């Protein structure tokens, strides 16, 4: 074939490189996810080149499934995926519409279809991110309106492949169950991406990054306390990875503010932006864990 | 008789691609888009039936096109127009409106004159089907 296309030039021109670099820079850990997204980007780029040479006519199926525990960055990655798909020309606007069951399923008969369609209209030209998608299907209640939303979704996922990309997200085991009971979804989703839990040092880096973004500094003692906190918190129930860390740091900011305020007098800028070890160590995680503390008060 | 009201009405009918492009322009301005229809295109008939709610939070023309297609399917012989509403404080009004569907045979407008108070004339227009 005489026609040629420079993939590297295509890659540069599309602006996909910036998205992939942002993905690398902003997200800590998640190596398998990054690898998968790189592969997907390469596939889409090659597909685009093929299409421009007239070798492929159809839009590839781009609907995805993100599985993983809470707080592992599914929404953040979905946001970047929307940007990537937009740069590569697979969605027209590249915005992300994030919804849950409540946004799709109505409360009475005839309420679901307009509600779902409303959301789909809003998501046209972008990416529809359905968090905890398995709640759409309630096997214990055969009259559940979720089924209606599922049917509309499936229809749109098939007929409007050029107009929007649907990403379903949720816990791995419950999503597997969901796909088993809704084979229509499984066959319409091409990319399954699994989000692993973060390691302890990754969580510590995430926490420091979060504080840095808000112009806070962790003192050396606080860093050590945070590392200990993470090790303790991870083994306790209801651990939500990065989200738990963010909440813990929010509470540490609260304690820091309280500490500075109750001390009174003049405060300097450095003190205002430094989180000390005591702010973190006051957490109930260090004092017997969540279950024992929950009955008393929330620390 | 071809009814001419709103934007583009002296041009040939817009194709769907052209309608989409106009909607994209409206959305880029932050205007909300509503679909309205009527069987009475009299110039004094300001308020047409609404096809669903105006769409305030769309990003892409496809969302409007879905509603327009549904409206065309339900009312193929009606006049359908798209109205763009600018909610900016101080404007808060329709800023753009154009017809996107017409019946196959359009009614004609006739004018009748009534003499009142001697030689004064009052004019009125009526649709003739």
Instruction: Provide the ipTM.
Output: 0.81
Query: What is the per-residue pLDDT for A2?
Result: 52
* Residues of chain A found within 8 Å of residue B62, distances taken between Cβ atoms: 92, 121, 124-125, 160, 163-164
Burial A175-186 (b: 16+ CB within 10 A, else e): beebbeebeebe
Instruction: Give which of B27, B32, B34, B62 to mutate to test A binding, by max A Cβ within 10 Å.
Output: B62
Residue in A with minimal Cα distance to B64: A121
| Coil vs helix vs strand at A110 | coil
d(C-alpha A193, C-alpha A80), whole Å: 14
Q: Which among A117, A122, A164 is the nearest to B58, CB-wise? A: A122
| Least Cα separation, residue B76 to chain A (angstroms) | 22
Q: Can you give the residue ranges of every domain in chain B?
A: 16-128
Express each pLDDT in B92-106 by its tens digit: 999 999 999 999 999
Measure the N-to-C terminal CA separation of chain A; round to a whole number of Å.
69
Q: Which among A93, A117, A160 is the nearest to B59, CB-wise? A: A93
Express each pLDDT in A250-288 by its tens digit: 999 999 999 998 888 788 888 888 888 888 888 888 887
Query: What is the per-residue pLDDT for B49?
Result: 96
Sign of CA dihedral B1, B5, B6, B7: positive
Query: What is the per-residue pLDDT for A18?
Result: 84
**CATH number of the domain located at residue range(s) B16-128 in this protein:** 3.30.190.10
Sign of CA dihedral A51, A189, A25, A39: negative
Cβ count within 10 A of residue A227: 16
Chain centre to alpha carbon of residue A284: 28
Query: What is the per-residue pLDDT for A209?
Result: 87
d(C-alpha A34, C-alpha A44), whole Å: 15
User: Phi, psi (5° rounding) for residue B124?
Assistant: -145, 155
* Residues of chain B found within 8 Å of residue A120, distances taken between Cβ atoms: 63
> Of A148, A130, A152, whose CA–CA distance to A138 is shortest?
A148
Q: Which of residues 67-126 of B touch A (CB under 8 A)?
A: 67
For residue A136, give the H/E element and its range: none
A121/B59 CB distance under 8 A: no
Query: What is the per-residue pLDDT for A150?
Result: 92
Query: What is the per-residue pLDDT for A116?
Result: 94
d(C-alpha A114, C-alpha A274), whole Å: 50
B63 touches chain A (CB under 8 A): yes
* Residues of chain B found within 8 Å of residue A122, distances taken between Cβ atoms: 57-59, 63
Residue in A with minimal Cα distance to B53: A118
Q: pTM of the prediction?
A: 0.82
Query: What is the per-residue pLDDT for B20?
Result: 95
State what percent of residues in chain A have pLDDT above 90.
27
A122/B61 CB distance under 8 A: no
As a whole number, mean pLDDT of residues B118-127 equals: 92
Looking at every residue in chain A, the average pLDDT score rounds to 86
* Residues of chain B found within 8 Å of residue A93, distances taken between Cβ atoms: 59-60
In sequence order, the 6+-apart residues with CB closer than 8 A to the CB of B34 are B50, B51, B53, B54, B55, B82, B83, B85
């Amino acid at each position: 074939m005489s026609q040629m296309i420079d993939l590297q030039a295509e890659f540069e021109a599309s602006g996909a490189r910036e998205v992939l670099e942002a993905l690398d820079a902003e997200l800590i850990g998640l190596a398998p996810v990054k690898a998968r997204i790189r592969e997907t980007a390469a596939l889409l780029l090659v597909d685009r080149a093929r299409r421009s040479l007239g070798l492929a006519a159809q839009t590839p199926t781009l609907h995805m499934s993100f599985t993983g525990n809470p707080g592992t960055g599914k929404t953040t990655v979905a946001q970047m995926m929307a940007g990537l798909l937009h740069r590569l020309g697979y969605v027209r606007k590249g915005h992300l519409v994030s919804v849950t069951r409540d946004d799709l399923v109505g409360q009475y008969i005839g309420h679901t279809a307009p509600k779902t369609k409303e959301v789909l209209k809003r998501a046209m030209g972008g990416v529809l991110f359905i968090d905890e998608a398995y709640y759409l299907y309630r096997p214990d209640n055969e009259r559940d309106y979720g089924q209606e939303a599922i049917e509309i979704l499936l229809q749109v996922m098939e007929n409007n492949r050029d107009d929007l990309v649907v990403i379903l997200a949720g816990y791995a085991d419950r999503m597997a169950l969901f796909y088993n009971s809704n084979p229509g979804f499984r066959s319409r989703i091409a990319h399954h991406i699994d989000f692993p839990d973060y390691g302890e040092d990754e969580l510590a880096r995430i926490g420091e990054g979060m504080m840095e973004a808000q112009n806070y500094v962790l003192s050396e003692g606080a860093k050590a306390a945070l590392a200990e906190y993470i090790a303790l918190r991870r083994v306790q129930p209801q651990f939500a990875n990065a989200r738990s860390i963010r909440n813990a740091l929010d509470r540490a900011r609260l304690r820091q503010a309280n500490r500075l305020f109750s001390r009174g007098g003049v405060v300097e800028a450095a003190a205002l932006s430094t989180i000390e070890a005591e702010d973190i160590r006051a957490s109930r995680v260090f004092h017997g864990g969540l279950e024992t503390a929950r009955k008393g008060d929330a620390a | 008789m071809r009814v001419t009201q709103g934007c583009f009405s002296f041009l040939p009918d817009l194709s769907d691609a052209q309608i989409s492009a106009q909607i994209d322009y409206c959305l880029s301005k932050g205007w909300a888009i509503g679909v309205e229809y009527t069987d009475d295109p009299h110039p004094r008939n300001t308020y047409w039936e609404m096809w669903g709610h105006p769409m305030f939070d769309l990003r892409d023309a496809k969302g409007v096109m879905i509603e327009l297609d549904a409206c065309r399917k339900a009312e193929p012989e009606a006049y359908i127009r798209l109205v763009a509403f600018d909610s900016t404080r101080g404007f808060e009004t329709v800023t753009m409106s154009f017809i996107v569907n017409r019946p196959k045979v359009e009614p004609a407008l006739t004018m009748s004159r009534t003499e009142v108070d001697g030689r004064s004339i009052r004019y009125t227009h009526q649709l003739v089907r």
